[in-house]
């Protein structure tokens, strides 16, 4: 079985206690490891504002997990995410067709600190930045 590198990004219910977030993470890591996969990185991003409401929630607890596995494991992982009511949304993408554990060890670990700030979604920030650029252009024309 050829190992491929995947990335799963999932959003958990923000109203759950911290131990429930950890429990879901352990469950998903367990699914990958029991299916013969290897966890490359697991990074909880923390509570962030959603760009649009999902299941009547405006915030979500974001988690990014990179792993290596065979393609047959993806269906099982996504089935578990779909059945778990604590998972609001998820997506899994293939990062690379081949996984080399030696090359992975040489890379610096990617970590993003969990920031519980009430940061607005990037889509809204981008719209505001474009609006500021338009205002600057108007001032330059005068």
Tokens representing 27 are 């469950």
Q: How many domains does the chain have?
A: 1
Q: Give per-10-residue mean pLDDT for the chain (142 aa).
A: 87 93 93 90 92 93 92 91 93 83 60 56 55 56 54
> Strand (E) positions, the chain?
4-12, 38-54, 57-69, 87-96
CATH code of 68's domain: 3.30.70.60
The reported pLDDT for the residue numbered 52 is 93
Residue with tokens 């650029």: 133
In a domain, 131, yes or no: no
In a domain, 80, yes or no: yes
The reported pLDDT for the residue numbered 45 is 92
Burial 65-92 (b: 16+ CB within 10 A, else e): bbbbbeeebbeebbebbeebebbbebeb
In a domain, 133, yes or no: no
Q: Which long-range contacts (CB under 8 A, 24 or more apart) does 21-27 make?
A: 21/61, 21/63, 24/63, 24/84, 24/86, 24/87, 25/63, 25/65, 27/80, 27/84
The reported pLDDT for the residue numbered 3 is 85
Global model pTM greater than 0.75: no
In a domain, 54, yes or no: yes
In a domain, 8, yes or no: yes
In a domain, 137, yes or no: no
In a domain, 44, yes or no: yes
DSSP structural state of residue 15: T
Range of the domain at 62: 4-102+112-117
In a domain, 42, yes or no: yes
């Amino acid at each position: 079985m050829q190992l491929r590198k995947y990335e799963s990004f999932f959003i958990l219910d923000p109203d759950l206690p911290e131990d429930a977030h950890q429990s879901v993470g352990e469950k998903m890591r367990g699914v990958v490891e029991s299916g013969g996969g290897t966890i490359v990185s697991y990074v909880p991003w923390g509570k962030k504002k959603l760009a649009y409401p999902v299941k009547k929630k405006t915030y979500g607890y974001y988690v990014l997990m990179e792993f290596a596995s065979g393609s047959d494991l993806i269906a099982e992982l996504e089935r578990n995410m779909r059945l778990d009511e604590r998972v609001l949304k998820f997506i899994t993408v293939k990062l690379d067709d081949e996984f080399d554990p030696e090359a992975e060890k040489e890379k610096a670990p990617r970590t993003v600190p969990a920031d519980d700030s009430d940061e607005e979604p990037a889509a809204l920030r981008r719209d505001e930045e474009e609006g500021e650029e338009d205002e600057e252009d108007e001032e330059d024309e005068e």
